[in-house]
Amino acid sequence: MNETVLSLKQRFALSRFIHGEKPVKGALTLNQRRIFILPTRQGGGFIVLILLLLLIALTYNNNLIYLLAFMLASVFFITILHTYQSLAGLVIKPLQTQAAFAGEKAGFGFNIQNPSDQARFDIQLKLETETLLDIPPHHHEKVLLFKSANKRGVLQAGTLTVSSCYPLGLFRAWSPLRFKLEALVYPAPAAVFSAFPESEGFEGENGQSKKGGDDFYGLQQYQPGDPIRQIHWKSYAKGQGLFSKHYGGNAVADLWLDYAQTLGHDVEQRLSHLCRWLIEAEKAGLRYGLILPNQKIPCRSGPEHQRACLEALALF
Amino acid sequence: MLIALGLITLPHSQHLPLPLFLFFVVLWTWRFIAIWKPEWLPGKITVFLLMLAAIGLLYSQHQGVLGRAGGTSLFVVALGLKLLEIRGTRDIYLIVFLGFIVAATEFLYQQNIVMAIYIVLVCIFLLATLITINGLHAKISPTLKKAGIIVLQAMPIAAIIFVLFPRIEAPHFKWLDAEKNQVTGLSDTLEPGAISELGLSPELVFRVKFDGDIPPPDERYWRGPVFTYTDGKRWRESPNRFFKRYMDTPRFKGKAYHYTLLMEPQNKPWVFALEMPAHFEAPLQRNSFYQLITTKDPTQRAEYKITSYTHFNTGYLTKTELKDTLQLPGKPSERIVKLVKQLGGFDLKPEQFIANLFNYFRQENFFYTLMPKKMENKPIETFLFERRYGFCSHYATAFVYLMRVADIPARVIGGYQGGELNEAGNFLEVRQANAHAWAEVWLHDKGWSRFDPTTAIAPERVEQTLDIEQQIATRTLTIVTPEVLHQSMDWLKQAKQVLGSVDYSWQRWIINYNRTSQQGIFKHLGIKDLKTIIYWLLVLVGTVTLILARFILKNKAQPVDPAVKLYRQFCQKIPDVTLNPGEAPYRFAARCRQAHPKQAETIDRIIQLFVKIRYYPNSPKETLEQLKKQVDHFSCT
């Protein structure tokens, strides 16, 4: 799966050892092509130990010390196979991603499956954060790793490094993997909250105070997207069904968050403001819509809607 | 881990200076307690002070850290100190590595097979420690198992490297010279009158493997030092060891015995060859007394190939020999002259005189004992006329003395006599308790001829196998006839012989494997230079690795569930509808039903059976048979 034939030059390209091959979409199986092994610092120490033993054996002409040194050398050698084995055959599949605001960390989900009969120990997965796990035979584990999102837009997962030093820590086997896995990065919300813009039909009044008005209009059948705080819990408790309280002026309470009305010098600042507004509006339980130069999202409310708006900002 | 380290250091208690060993034990115990009371661990200053104390101790005990004992102590103490400051995995690695070195130094003192197995086990413990730090699981038995597997897999490769790794004759560093081992053995003087109890030890002196027949017990005389000079009490070797004889070889007759002699460490360069050695190789030399001497360090175990003949004629007598072998400490007493005269020493032929003397020993009240009384004043006279209890040396010295009085050249030969056949390995084991002394007389047409006066008084001592254990236990000479010996070969004895045989092979092939034996193997393989060695190494190690890789890396072919097999068969039987990868059976069934509405019922039944077997554990076996029947009968046409 997901295998292409590599030319010799590609095969020995340095980037393959560090960054991995071209990103792929589906699951990847770790095999000899993707697993690399080098001795660790402890492995180097082990070599020094073997040399020291050989020196002792030579000076004292002691065959048993020779034998011990050779045995440790063979152990060293065999460990290459064992370390390789600790990664070989694992199947890594990309899962969903978690969007983040710029400056925070976006999450990337992976599923790591051990299809073999042997348990795998000490598997380290590293993106920017890392995690260690043991995987029993025929099991799979889900991990969520994070990567700093510095820029608004689409964040590539980059190189996921799966590695293991099991069993003796003398060698480290690693496999750099790249998936076509991307997380959205929303603009960072502006630190300063500027007042909501005035939109048509808002009649110069501040949305904040308008919303707070007691102009109770009546109950309506609950519709998905209605703010939770407007749910008429009393009737729900009586078993009459779910109703939302609707306030007077609801029809005009639609808040249009317009790109053109934001403060700021450049696109990013404006988007930051819009982002802050979106968050505040959702918090306040308002119905709001988004107007971008290339897109218009009609007024609604609720987490789904918020996400749609944020995505629009991220991809703008 | 701590236990492993404790185990490693334990055998060192035998030869490390006590204060150093106690120092380690204290540190180790400290660390052990600290597992439960981490706050008891010493701070930086304490560790520093302990280090100073350790350096002081090292210097007071060894005056330095070079050499075998000093180096060993250094590593042991360093290990103990390091135990007290474990901070990260790096420290643990360092400790484990130190542990390996301490384990290796153990081999500088003891090289027997038990120690080797012990060290391998301890190494498994150490590797298990490494596994524990690298795996997240802390269970002991699986890590030990894993470490054991790794060591087991490493063994064949280790063996290959062991055989092929070029051995260089080690440069001899004076300062690294091992202290002389305390080895007991024959002494270079003989003073039977001063011994009241013969020290008998079952310690092995050498082992002999014959290429063909083994000589009969009464011909198993292993020649050692020759005592010619006497002051009346003590017998010594003649200082002239390399006179004319040195170049001569006796004329040999009869059967040639080819054998390999494996000498245990000795403090003298004597090599005990079967009388008479005819052919031998360097580093062996023969002195004028037909004794073999090695020019190499006798404290190292060594193996020699020798050919001997039990029948020989040494020919003429040199002047030095004549002078040396007639030497007497002053005039013999009247009693002795009278005895010699009585036995015909002055008028009869030497052979006749010897026969008379043997008869004399036999007929008079002479006894063989291993616990004679001390005879410090005039030992020979006291022995001949008063005590009459003695062991081989008494008889041999008295015999030679009487010969010399009768003007017949004679000398005392020291060495070993006999040897027990190890039936498991088909070789002779000669022990300290086999030590013996006999006499040699020069006769006109025969040259130097062996006479063993002990045979006159205790012929069994020579003709049959000495039961050493019995002898040591009861302090009496216990002889067993071969038949009895065979019957008494109970399992204990057999086990002992098998062990002895294993040990023999161990010594011969592992401990004693050296440049010479390596070259023998290389000749066999046609290896001539370093290049071919490397080539062989690579090919052999590569082959073993491939085999191991197959073994380690093989993904055990997952046993295909018979139900799944049947299901796949079924899927192939349906035309036009192919199973998508990862498609659930019910979904597939739905598509099949659409494509083949006529078969809908059968399809449903099959799918249901399959799902039942596959996803509900413990479904009865009949269900599988049912499924098989259904699938076999199924057809879309």
Cα B256 versus chain centre, distance = 28
* Same domain flag for B339 and B224: yes
Tens-digit pLDDT profile for residues B72-94: 888 888 888 888 877 777 888 88
Per-residue pLDDT for A2 more than 50?
no
CA–CA distance, B97 with B79 (Å, rounded to integer): 9
Q: Which chain A residue shows the shortest CA-CA distance from B92?
A: A42
* Same domain flag for B199 and B282: yes
Q: Which residues contact B360 (CB under 8 A, 6 or more apart)?
A: B339, B343
How distant, in Å, are the alpha carbons of A150, A187, A268, A275 from that of A190?
A: 15, 9, 10, 7
Kindly state the percentage of chain A with pLDDT values over 70.
81
* Same domain flag for B229 and B343: yes
| Mean pLDDT to the nearest integer, A11-17 | 71
Least Cα distance to B298 among B244, B234, B224, B199 occurs for: B224
CA–CA distance, A92 with A2 (Å, rounded to integer): 12
Inspect the interface and report whether the beta carbons of A167 and B134 lie closer than 8 Å: yes
CA–CA distance, A132 with B372 (Å, rounded to integer): 78
Q: Which two tokens stand for residue A149?
A: 């999102």
Tens-digit pLDDT profile for residues A239-250: 776 666 665 444
Reply yes or no: is the peptide bond before residue B489 cis, omega within 30 of 0: no
For B99, other C-beta atoms within 10 Å of its C-beta total 24
Tens-digit pLDDT profile for residues B126-136: 888 888 887 75
How sure is the predictor about B299, in pLDDT bands with cuts at 50, 70 and 90? confident
Per-residue pLDDT for A259 more than 50?
yes
Please identify which residue in the block is written with the tokens 């330095």.
B64
Per-residue pLDDT for B259 more than 70?
yes
Say what the pLDDT of residue A167 is.
84
Inspect the interface and report whether the beta carbons of B104 and A65 lie closer than 8 Å: yes
Cα B405 versus chain centre, distance = 47
Whether A68 and B107 have beta carbons less than 8 Å apart is answered as yes
Q: Which chain B residue shows the shortest CA-CA distance from A66?
A: B162
Per-residue pLDDT for B179 more than 50?
no
CA–CA distance, B372 with A30 (Å, rounded to integer): 82
* Same domain flag for B108 and B196: no
* Same domain flag for B257 and B380: yes
Average pLDDT over all residues of chain A: 79
Q: Is B238 helix (H, G, I), strand (E, B) or coil?
A: coil
Inspect the interface and report whether the beta carbons of A168 and B89 lie closer than 8 Å: no
Say what the pLDDT of residue A53 is.
92
Inspect the interface and report whether the beta carbons of A59 and B170 lie closer than 8 Å: yes
Residue B527 placed within a domain: no
* Same domain flag for B473 and B325: yes
CA–CA distance, A13 with B242 (Å, rounded to integer): 75
Q: How does DSSP assign B559-612, residue by residue?
A: PPPHHHHHHHHHHHHSSS--PPTT--HHHHHHHHHHH-GGGHHHHHHHHHHHHH
Tens-digit pLDDT profile for residues B183-193: 456 777 888 76
Number of domain units in chain B: 3
Beta bridge partner(s), residue B279: B307
Give the CA count within 13 Å in the CB-facing half-sphere of B266.
Answer: 26
Per-residue pLDDT for B177 more than 70?
no
* Same domain flag for B231 and B354: yes
| Mean pLDDT to the nearest integer, A141-170 | 87
Cα B326 versus chain centre, distance = 44
Tens-digit pLDDT profile for residues B430-444: 888 788 889 999 988
- Of B448, B471, B490, at which residue does a domain stop? B490
Tens-digit pLDDT profile for residues B580-613: 766 777 888 888 888 888 778 888 888 888 887 7
Residue B246 placed within a domain: yes
Per-residue pLDDT for A44 more than 90?
yes
* Same domain flag for B373 and B466: yes
* Same domain flag for B361 and B256: yes
How sure is the predictor about B141, in pLDDT bands with cuts at 50, 70 and 90? confident
- Of B490, B507, B531, at which residue does a domain stop? B490
* Same domain flag for B204 and B347: yes
Residue B217 placed within a domain: yes
- Of B465, B490, B515, at which residue does a domain stop? B490
Q: Which chain A residue shows the shortest CA-CA distance from B126?
A: A168
How sure is the predictor about B281, in pLDDT bands with cuts at 50, 70 and 90? confident
Q: Which two tokens stand for residue B195?
A: 């011994």
CA–CA distance, B583 with B187 (Å, rounded to integer): 90
Residue B372 placed within a domain: yes
Average pLDDT over all residues of chain B: 79
CA–CA distance, A167 with B4 (Å, rounded to integer): 18
Give phi and psi for B516, each to the nearest 5: -65, -50
Overall residue count recorded for chain B in this entry: 637
How distant, in Å, are the alpha carbons of B282, B302, B371, B515 from that of B509?
A: 20, 11, 40, 12
Per-residue pLDDT for A46 more than 90?
yes
For B289, other C-beta atoms within 10 Å of its C-beta total 26
Tens-digit pLDDT profile for residues A17-41: 777 777 777 788 888 888 889 999 9
Give the angle B523-B528-B529 at the CA atoms, nearest 5°: 145
Residue B500 placed within a domain: no
Residue B154 placed within a domain: no
Q: Which positions in chain A touch B511 (Cβ < 8 Å)? A: 63-64
Best mutation site among B114, B134, B145, B546 for testing chain A: the one with the most A CBs within 10 Å? B134
Q: Which positions in chain B touch A66 (Cβ < 8 Å)? A: 162, 165
Say what the pLDDT of residue B170 is.
54
Q: Which residues of B216-229 are buried (b: 16+ CB within 10 A; e: fewer)?
A: ebebbbbbbbbbbb
Three-state secondary structure along B517-571? HHHHHHHHHCCCCHHHHHHHHHHHHHHHHHHHHHHHHCCCCCCCCHHHHHHHHHH
Least Cα distance to A46 among A80, A85, A72 occurs for: A72
Inspect the interface and report whether the beta carbons of A60 and B178 lie closer than 8 Å: yes
Residue A78 has its nearest CB partner, among B90, B153, B511, at B153
Residue B305 placed within a domain: yes
Say what the pLDDT of residue B306 is.
92
Helix-strand-coil percent breakdown of chain A, rounded to 5? 35, 30, 35
Q: Which chain A residue shows the shortest CA-CA distance from B157?
A: A74
Least Cα distance to B106 among B69, B79, B148 occurs for: B69
| Mean pLDDT to the nearest integer, B264-277 | 87
How distant, in Å, are the alpha carbons of B232, B331, B378 from that of B336?
A: 13, 10, 12
Q: How many CB pairs under 8 A join A and B?
A: 156
* Same domain flag for B459 and B357: yes
CA–CA distance, B302 with B308 (Å, rounded to integer): 18
Say what the pLDDT of residue B10 is.
75
Q: Which residues contact B497 (CB under 8 A, 6 or more apart)?
A: B422, B423, B424, B425
Say what the pLDDT of residue A69 is.
93
Q: Which positions in chain B touch A114 (Cβ < 8 Å)? A: none
Residue B594 placed within a domain: yes
Per-residue pLDDT for B556 more than 80?
no
Tens-digit pLDDT profile for residues B323-377: 888 888 888 888 888 988 888 888 888 889 999 988 888 888 888 877 777 787 8
Say what the pLDDT of residue B532 is.
84
Inspect the interface and report whether the beta carbons of B127 and A168 lie closer than 8 Å: yes
Per-residue pLDDT for A96 more than 80?
yes
Q: Which residues contact B142 (CB under 8 A, 6 or more apart)?
A: none
* Same domain flag for B80 and B220: no
Whether A36 and A174 have beta carbons less than 8 Å apart is answered as yes
Residue A85 has its nearest CB partner, among B89, B154, B553, at B553
Least-confidence region, from B175-184, B231-240, B558-567: B175-184
CA–CA distance, A136 with B51 (Å, rounded to integer): 45
End-to-end CA distance of chain B: 70
Please identify which residue in the block is written with the tokens 């040990």.
B503
Tens-digit pLDDT profile for residues B488-541: 556 666 777 777 778 777 777 777 777 777 877 888 877 777 888 888 888 988
Beta bridge partner(s), residue B25: none
Overall residue count recorded for chain A in this entry: 316
| Mean pLDDT to the nearest integer, B551-556 | 65
Say what the pLDDT of residue B258 is.
92
Q: In which domain, by residue range, is B627 found?
A: 562-633
- Cα of B125 to nearest chain A Cα, Å: 12
End-to-end CA distance of chain A: 35
Whether A29 and A1 have beta carbons less than 8 Å apart is answered as yes
Least-confidence region, from A210-224, B16-30, B368-382: A210-224
